[in-house]
Amino acid sequence: MSILKIARMGHPVLAQRADEVANPAAPDIRRLVADMVETMIDANGAGLAAPQVHVPLRVVVFQAPGERTDAGVSEAERFDHTAPLTVLINPVIEIMDAATEGGWEGCLSVPGLRGYVEGPGHIRYRGFDHEGNVVARTAKGFHARVVQHECDHLDGILYPQRMGDMTKFIFESEARHWMKDE
């Protein structure tokens, strides 16, 4: 396994639609997934999409361990234990409720910054893992936001493009001023 280089905002690979994976259980996909998981953990990320490591394929990995305490995640939004380390290949998202929720997001491709993003708070997602098994779950709150954030990368979208109020695009070092009441 290897730690992969993470593309930063502005790199063309982050602005394009990623290609479908023909065989989720192929050895090269399994190797990519192992490297992505190692890279995500090394970078202390909640998720990682293949385009973020310069591979334009529809592959994401994410996790939601309960001990995680990122700045900007309120007690009600703590990581959801229903999201163990997950591999999702060729994902499809279905919105279950049109009501939106907001929260502070960060991104390994936009280091040092956070932004307040609103989006659907209840989704269903489906795809395949790296062994070719179907993965199908519903998600709410932070779990839903992580899945949508990572899947947005597969369509060339970074979280600042989802922000409705750019005055809430801040440096992580200043987050304490915005999150003190949450």
CA distances from 101 to 23, 53, 96, 120 (A): 35, 29, 13, 6
Q: Where are the beta strands (DSSP E) in 11-109?
A: 47-49, 59-62, 86-95, 100-107
Q: Which of 20, 75, 150, 174 is catalytic?
A: 150
Is 54 in contact with 7 (CB distance < 8 Å)?
A: yes
The answer to whether the CB of 148 falls within 8 A of the CB of 120 is yes
The alpha-carbon radius of gyration of the chain (Å, integer) is: 15
Is position 131 annotated as part of the catalytic site? no
Alpha-carbon distance of 178 to 147, in angstroms, equals 24
- 43 by DSSP, 3-state: which? coil
CB of 13 within 8 A of CB of 56?
A: yes
Residue numbers annotated as active site: 150
